[in-house]
Chain A
Amino acid sequence: MMKVILEVKERHKPTLPIEAECITPKNFLDPERVFHVWKGNKELDITEVFHVRKDGNAKSADQVEIIIRGDSSNIKRVGEYMDGGRILIEGSIGMHCGNFMSAGTIEIKGDADSWLGREMHGGTILCHGNVEDYAGSGYRGEKKGMTGGRIEIMGNAGDFAAETMAGGEMIIHGNAGDMPGIDIKDGSLTIMGDCSRPCGNMSGGKCWIFGTAYDMLPTFRNEGQTSVDSVPVTRFSGDYISRGLGMVYTANHKYME
């Protein structure tokens, strides 16, 4: 097993984002590798931003654990293209955490910024705090968001969670913002709290909302009552603005006044 501890140094301007796409378990397998991060258009050695400590040896990415400490809330692109192993973030993390990841685990003790698990294919992300917008989405213009894997958010999610989702599973234990699951094509989205305007232009997949769905879109058809795990819910099919092949289950829903 290898344990890599990255502790963010005291920074002169902590709000300036750092792009650190090199931080993935497999990159630490190569002992010769030089790690660079970017601050704006300046390329810095990783030691200018982090205290790096490496213990143990590993033969595959699965045996690597990375722990990020300190104020990492503006460190972006951690775990990009990750294909195994584990990343534990003890604080909060910046945007684009877990981009395109295909396997492994990311655990965030604090909050996550936007685009958490953007276009991920597999693996697991667990966030104990809140996340900002576009969790599990496709980036601007992309047709498919997450296609596999699992994102679990213990707090609230921002707007456009699971936009263009095309597979996998997302669970939001708190509330979601506006338009969760917009353009969802496949996969499952579960929201334990409230949200508004869910699943616009949905063309497949399933969505469960156990709080209240505000401003329910009129292009969904009410298919009557049913129950999920003995919770009574209303079943909707839609979105009929698209092909109407998706399903939304809501415990409560309200149409726009």
Chain B
Amino acid sequence: MKTLLIKNAYVIDPIQKISGETMDIAVRDGKIVDDVKNPDQVIDATGMLTLPGGIDSHTHICGTKVNFGRYMSPEDMRAGRTSRKGDMHATSGYSVPTTYGNSYRYSRMGYTTLLEGAMAPMEARHTHEEFRYTPLQDCLANTLFDGNWFALEAIRDGDIKRLAGIIAWYLSAAKGFGVKLTNPGGTEAWGFGDDVTCINEPIPHFGITPRDIIVNMIEANEMLNLPHSVHLHCNNLGKPGNYMCTLDTYNAIPDLNDKRQSLYSTHVQFHSYGGSSWNDFCSKAEDIARSVNDKPQITIDTGQVMFGKTTTMTADGPMEFNLYRLYHNKWSNHDVELETGSGIIPVHYRKKNLVNAIMWSIGLELGLLVDSPWQCILATDNPNGAPFVKYPEVMALLMSKNYRDAEFETLHKSTGKRVILPSLDRELTWDEIVTMTRSAQARALGLIEYGKGHLSEGAEADIALYPINVDTTDPARDYERIINGFSTTEYTIKRGEVVCRNGTCTMESNHSTYWVNPHVPPAYDMGTDAAFIDGFNKYYSMRITNYPVGEEYIGRNVCMESEASL
């Protein structure tokens, strides 16, 4: 029966349409309530920007791929070490830190919910084990279906209901949250030593196209009434001229849901490239943003690139192979039987590299050109574009034209000819930045009704108090204050308890794993489907009974039930 009262908080909460009101927030037992009498703890939040806890809707923090990034980058582990202090464990790593490192650094920035962007269902145990040691955030995991053989067979046979049944079985077996497609078809083609060029080319063996995969998956996803939409990493990531493919993909997306988008398109910066080679490489953010502005069924995240060293990791195996041929540095390539693959490469984004400078500009252009912040989420695809600790800098860049111009001056001299960033005068408002860092995520992930991303009565008491006085701070000029303010909260509150105070974390958090359990009619229950079980036992190297992740792996958790309309 713990109670907490936050007094005189300056609140911005776009979901409740609160735009800068001074109010008190009362918390009882981890939930926000109307009022508390004789609170156990009172926080005076005068002059502090008070927001719902941050949500990262696309990050890579837990799982086999992340762990392999740690494993192959001992130099990265040396790059960010902190020693044990009070309740805090020692941490190491900069772009791929240890789980505690991720958790502390996110908490320090006021983030309380994280979505792991890509979990291979077969390797889900590892992800869930790492979730348990990410103590200060609730975690969710998008589950990979881009090369799932049973799903691809169902698509080939044109049986969407069976596809929905397969998705339902895998999601509840892997304790996953959403459907992730990474280079749909492409990673499977890579298994045959091939890749796809865009969405209309059939993939080997199955003869279906990436377009078939994307559209059918979206339909199946909506049949299952899942909280989140299909989460898509488009084909052709990182290739000059790929914007045409991205636009083609967007044009194929049906609008099937009134509450949220039907497609979450992730790290779009990597998919907005013009030109025909690296020599005439340029930004096509304008075309992409126009398409997004026309299509309420699409939400994107920017996938901002920031300069410095980082590690790229994705289930897009062929793309990482192309990067390897570019850099000749170390490379990992991995195949997950019957499901997907992955690749990892360390990179260093440099200001004086023209391609990198253009990438940096494209991310910002997307943030500024997409009209509605509800459709454009701030993310770096951590750690692919940059480690998440750079988020405050991204916020400041979006809020200040001065800062953008000052940074632009330091880039490769030819950047101005390839991008339109210098001509964009828009400076995002406080409300827009708040939307892009929590509210839009909560809506896109369908978490509003689970009490995330807002501060209404009954919501989870995940609250971030930043030492920023909105009335006296002009973001356009005081961008340093924005960066410092968003880097370290005064208080981060998770489920009603202060878990981080001025950058020092405590371990007392009862975090949860969120997962979905879609209920399907018995005819589509793959757990009793003879053909599925036969195929499974024939082709997988493990038995179907050993496959599902047991409850013992996930600790405290919230099961999100959904009723399928099949």
Contacts and interface: CB of A to CB of B under 8 A. Distances in A.
B328 A141 contact: no
A140 B75 contact: yes
Contact of A139 (B72, B75, B328): B75
Contacts of A140: 74-75
The binding surface of chain B is classed by DSSP as helix
B73 A141 contact: yes
A143 to B, nearest CB: 7
B329 A141 contact: no
A242 interface: yes
A143 B329 contact: yes
Contacts of B329: 143
B320 interface: no
Interface string B42-80: 000000000000000000000000000000111110100
Nearest to B72: A141
Nearest to A243: B328
A229 interface: no
A166 to B, nearest CB: 14
Contact of B74 (A141, A203, A242): A141
B328 A242 contact: yes
Contact of B75 (A142, A203, A242): A142
Nearest to A138: B75
Interface in A85-143: 139-143
The binding surface of chain A is classed by DSSP as loop
Contacts of B328: 203, 242-243
Contacts of B72: 141
Contacts of A203: 328
A140 B75 CA distance: 7
Contacts of A242: 328
B520 to A, nearest CB: 47
Contacts of B73: 141
Nearest to B330: A141
Contacts of A142: 75
Interface string B71-101: 0111110100000000000000000000000
A203 B78 CA distance: 26
B117 to A, nearest CB: 24
A141 B75 CA distance: 5
Interface in A189-245: 203, 242-243
Which of A140, A141, A142, A242 has the largest number of chain B CB atoms within 10 A? A141
B67 to A, nearest CB: 15
A203 B328 CA distance: 10
B93 to A, nearest CB: 12
A203 B329 CA distance: 12
A242 B72 CA distance: 20
A139 B75 CA distance: 8
A160 B74 CA distance: 18
B373 to A, nearest CB: 39
A176 B329 CA distance: 26
Contacts of A141: 72-76, 78
Interface string A138-182: 011111000000000000000000000000000000000000000
A110 to B, nearest CB: 29
A140 B71 CA distance: 11
A48 B73 CA distance: 37
Nearest to B328: A242
A203 B327 CA distance: 13
A242 B73 CA distance: 21
A246 B549 CA distance: 51
Contacts of B76: 141
Interface in B503-532: none
B437 to A, nearest CB: 33
Nearest to B79: A141
B83 to A, nearest CB: 10
B551 to A, nearest CB: 37
Which of A143, A203, A242 has the largest number of chain B CB atoms within 10 A? A143
17 contacts: A139-B74, A139-B75, A139-B78, A140-B74, A140-B75, A141-B72, A141-B73, A141-B74, A141-B75, A141-B76, A141-B78, A142-B75, A143-B75, A143-B329, A203-B328, A242-B328, A243-B328
Interface of B: 72-76, 78, 328-329
Given A140-B74, A140-B75, A141-B76, 14 more contacts: A139-B74, A139-B75, A139-B78, A141-B72, A141-B73, A141-B74, A141-B75, A141-B78, A142-B75, A143-B75, A143-B329, A203-B328, A242-B328, A243-B328
Shortest beta-carbon contacts, A-B, top 7: A141-B75, A141-B74, A140-B74, A142-B75, A141-B73, A242-B328, A140-B75
